[in-house]
Structures are given as structure tokens and as C-alpha cells.
Amino acid sequence: MAQAPDLTAPKRPVSHSTLGRAQRWSWMFQRISGVVLIVLIFTHLFINLWWGDGINQIDFAFVAGKLASPFWQWFDFLMLTLAMIHGANGMRMIIDDYARNPAWRATLQWALRIATVIIVVLGTLVLFTFDPCPADADPSLLPSLCEDI
Amino acid sequence: MSPATTLYRGHEGMWMWVVHRTTGVAVFFFLLVHVLDTALVRVSPEAYNEVIGSYKTPLYAIIEAGLVAAIALHAFNGLRIIAVDRSTWALRHQRQLVWAVWIGFAILMLGFLPRHLMHAFGGA
């Protein structure tokens, strides 16, 4: 059985006044967004996966029918951005904990930042430039609201 | 195992920390994939329906159940973390609150799993 490592003082002192401020904001954001995300994601799962026909109802017509409404556009936008920042902030802490080599840690942190920005921008563009009734599409695949157009 | 060999003693708090990290990482990677698959609504109805159709298979039905389980555990344990941090009562009772997390998780899964599996496997 391996011995527990000795706890030695860090070689480089850490400034607790500045580290503390950033980390406190990070922790506050994690809690507040976490509570909001519980409401958003549980609603999302209830409507899409439990209500009605559950997983079987999910197709283009279902998603387009929802995203045609500004309420669900903004609901999904808030869920997307909060979930990505909450998740990326958690991943940032995990990378800091386990990636001990500085170059490797920097690579992972940058990959995380780039992936987060790409996903948030892509998701936002889709939510707000999306056409629920594309003109050249098979009408049988479209939501019922397209019949009125 | 002698208690002196490790800094960690394996009590409830440590295991819930492990649960919180693993479920968090799992949900994060699912989220990346989920935004990409939903982005296909911008490509064409056919493209979206084809990819989302693969979610309606028995294997994915099980994975979705695991995803909901991970989200529920992460959510309830997150509330426990906030409570323990904000209230000395919750701090004193943090072990009982671990049980509250698992009971809340069990109730939610009992409400979700039968219905989801019926949807997925054709009973409803």
C-alpha cells in the first residue's frame, strides 16, 4: 500500500486576494446558473422526453414547431449559454486539477475555450436564423403551422 | 486497509464529489454532441430526422436513461452542495442530505424510467 504523500508548502505563494475574487465569482456563477439550469433542463426533459409520445415524437416537425415560437428560442438560448458556460467552468477546474504539465494544461484549456465558443455561437445562430418552413422541403416533414403559409 | 495510507477516507462526501465530477463530465460531452445534432435542423428536415432516428434505437434508449440519471444526480447533489455551503444546519446534516439526494434521484427515476422505456420499446 502506497504511503500518503506529505503535504508540503507550495513553492510559489498564491495571492489569495486576487485568486479569491476570480474563484468566488466562478463559484457564485456555478451555483446560480446551476439552480436556473435545474428549472430549464427539467422542463426541457419533461416536455421533450416524458410528455406526449416521449422520444418517438422528436423529429424536424416537433423541433420546428417549438422553435417557431420566440419563447422557446429564448428558452433554448438561455439553456444553451448557461449550460455551456457552467459545463466549461467545471471542465476548467477538472483540467487544472489533473493536467500537471503546463504545456498540456494550456493546450487543454485552449481547446476547451475554443470548443465552448464554437458550440455557443453555432447553437445561437441555429436558434435565431432557423426557418421552420424551408421552401424546398418535403411538406410532409414540416410542422402543421407551415400549412397556413 | 489501514486508514493512514491515504488522505481520503471514502466517506459519503468524497463519493458524492466523485459522482458530481463524473456525471458533470458525461453531461458536458453529451451537450457538445446534442448541440451539433440539433444544429442539423438548419441543414434540412431529412438530415435532422435521419440522425435523430438513431436516437430512437434500444441502445440509445438506455444511453438516454443514463443521461437523465446523470443529470438528476448532478442536479440534486448540486443543491446539496449549495445547502451545505449556505447553512450550518445542512453542514451538520450533510450525510443525511446525501441520502436525500439518492432518495430524490430514485423518485425521479421511478417517474421517468417506466414511461421512457415504454416509449422506447413500444409499450405506449
CATH value at residue B60: 1.20.1300.10
Per the structure, how many domains does chain A have?
1
**Is residue A47 one of the residues assigned to a domain?**
yes
Interface contact flag, A34 B25, Cβ < 8 Å: no
- Give residue A56's domain range: 21-148
**Is residue A48 one of the residues assigned to a domain?**
yes
Is the distance from CB of B31 to CB of A114 less than 8 angstroms?
no
**Is residue A133 one of the residues assigned to a domain?**
yes
- What ipTM goes with this model? 0.89
Q: How confident is the model at residue B124 (pLDDT cuts 50, 70, 90)?
A: very low
**Is residue B96 one of the residues assigned to a domain?**
yes
- Give residue B45's domain range: 9-121
A100 or B6: which leads in pLDDT: A100
**Is residue A14 one of the residues assigned to a domain?**
no
What CATH number is associated with residue A56?
Answer: 1.20.1300.10
Per the structure, how many domains does chain B have?
1
For residue range B87-105, list pLDDT tens digits in order.
999 989 988 999 999 999 9
Please state the rounded mean pLDDT for residues A80-90: 98
Q: How confident is the model at residue B13 (pLDDT cuts 50, 70, 90)?
A: confident
**Is residue A100 one of the residues assigned to a domain?**
yes
Whether chain B has a CB inside 8 Å of the CB on A125: the answer is yes
Distances from the Cα of B77 to the Cα of A35, A53, A63, B39, angstroms: 11, 30, 31, 31
Backbone angles phi, psi at A101, to 5 degrees: -80, 125
Q: Considering CB atoms only, which of B6, B36, B48 is closest to A60?
A: B48
What DSSP character marks residue A20?
A: H
Q: Which of B38, B55, B57, B68 to mutate to test the interface with A (most CBs of A within 10 A)?
A: B38
| Distance separating alpha carbons of residues B120 and B61, to the nearest angstrom | 6
**Is residue B2 one of the residues assigned to a domain?**
no
**Is residue B76 one of the residues assigned to a domain?**
yes
For residue range A26-79, list pLDDT tens digits in order.
999 999 999 999 999 999 999 999 998 888 999 999 999 999 999 999 999 999
| Distance separating alpha carbons of residues A40 and A43, to the nearest angstrom | 5
**Is residue A4 one of the residues assigned to a domain?**
no
**Is residue A5 one of the residues assigned to a domain?**
no
**Is residue A85 one of the residues assigned to a domain?**
yes
pLDDT of residue A108: 97
CB pairs under 8 A between A and B: 119
| Distance separating alpha carbons of residues A16 and A23, to the nearest angstrom | 10
**Is residue B1 one of the residues assigned to a domain?**
no
